[in-house]
Amino acid sequence: MRPDDGYRLLVQGVTDYGILMLDPTGHIVSWNAGAERIKGYQEHEILGKHFSVFYPPEDIATGKPDNELAQAVIEGHLEDEGWRLRKDGTRFWANVVITALFDDTGTLRGFGKVTRDMTERRSAEATLAERRRLLTHLVEAQELERRRIAWDVHDDSIQAMVAVGMRLQLLSSRVPEEHRPTLQQLEDAVRTSVSRLRNLVVHLRPTAIEEHGLVTALSGYLQDVVAAWDLGTSLSAELDHEPPVPTAITIFRICQEALINVRKHARATCVAVTLSTTDGGTLVRVRDDGIGFANPVREDSFHRFGLIEMRERAETAAGWCSVESAPDAGTTVEFWLPNPPEQRAATR
């Protein structure tokens, strides 16, 4: 068998791609099995017809088919995505590459055209985009509700408890000595409640992010909240830029979820958080020295250990989240969120 025959048989047998040849005027001169599967025409039905038969009326009205051939001649090839028509008139989303073919003298001999049906991928991308849009709205609604509750707790409950504590202090100087221990216990209880409420406010709304940035907010959370869980903590940050507030809040929330997960499940003695600027985004690792669990991490593990929310938050922000663990070897939660385009450009 001659090499040309083998090449022809290979092209004819490809079914995932529509591969066809056009003459210099755009008329179809060859047709493979993939083109028949994707477009619905048998070879004898389509040979000799102009390739514009695959384009919807709105593209024909603007001269798109001929414009694409002209551009392919100028640039050597053209790649495009858009709607195309099957034989039965239904539309599909296609990725099309048109290559101009010249002989040794530079004379245009025709065009090679490769078409791929991208309808399923486009549908999946649209579904994912809609899911991310809904998740974004959900996250925004959660943050607004957290902010509202934090303000209510700070402006109402904490202020009321502080006022009660001040009145108890004033009262302790006026009551008989035998009642002062009881008042002192009440003062201590009020003081403890105020401290817990303030921690709740920090948990609900990390205001330090807006005022001082992500690193300061995480450092404060580790010192004021996580250290109270009898966990040793460390924080290392090598950031080229401070993430914008929305991204910083998402990072803070994922770290918060990971740290709470450590408290609930890890039986760890220490936890380390590291942040770095990597691949045009912020890479974060939360490592503990706890009991760990078996890998690979399955979907049920994400639900069991409360990891699904971390992954969804990261994916909503166009990032990713992964978990590595092993029995008696601790757990590492790693996630990455992209920087805004202007920050990515500044680091190039």
Q: Which of 67, 97, 117 is the last residue of a domain?
A: 117
- Assess whether 89 and 164 both reside in one domain: no
- Assess whether 192 and 297 both reside in one domain: no
- Assess whether 109 and 177 both reside in one domain: no
DSSP 8-state symbol, 287? E
What pLDDT is attached to residue 192? 84
Q: What is the tally of structural domains in the chain?
A: 3
What pLDDT is attached to residue 202? 64
- Assess whether 131 and 85 both reside in one domain: no
Q: Which of 205, 220, 239 is the last residue of a domain?
A: 205
- Assess whether 36 and 99 both reside in one domain: yes
CA distance 254 to 273: 12
- Which helix (H) or strand (E) segment holds residue 320: the answer is strand 320-325
State the CATH number of the domain containing residue 239.
Answer: 3.30.565.10
Single-letter code of the amino acid located at 70: A
What pLDDT is attached to residue 143? 67
- Assess whether 188 and 96 both reside in one domain: no
Q: Which of 153, 188, 205 is the last residue of a domain?
A: 205
Q: Which domain holds residue 179?
A: 123-205
pLDDT, greater one: 34 or 210: 34
Question: Vertex 6, ends 1 and 115: CA angle to 5°?
Answer: 165
- C-alpha closest to that of 69 among 11, 12, 40, 108: 108
Question: Which tens digits make up the pLDDT trace of 322-344?
Answer: 988 888 889 999 999 998 765 55
- C-alpha closest to that of 19 among 30, 27, 9: 30
What pLDDT is attached to residue 2? 45
- Assess whether 266 and 292 both reside in one domain: yes
Average pLDDT, the chain: 83
- Assess whether 218 and 347 both reside in one domain: yes
Strand partners, 77: 99
- Assess whether 169 and 216 both reside in one domain: no
What pLDDT is attached to residue 7? 42
pLDDT, greater one: 239 or 208: 239
- Assess whether 7 and 84 both reside in one domain: yes
What pLDDT is attached to residue 306? 64
- Assess whether 40 and 151 both reside in one domain: no
State the CATH number of the domain containing residue 36.
Answer: 3.30.450.20
- Assess whether 41 and 94 both reside in one domain: yes
Question: Which tens digits make up the pLDDT trace of 138-195?
Answer: 767 776 776 777 777 767 777 888 888 888 787 877 778 887 788 788 888 888 887 7
Whether 339 contacts 247, CB under 8 Å: yes
Number of C-beta neighbours around residue 333 at 10 A? 26
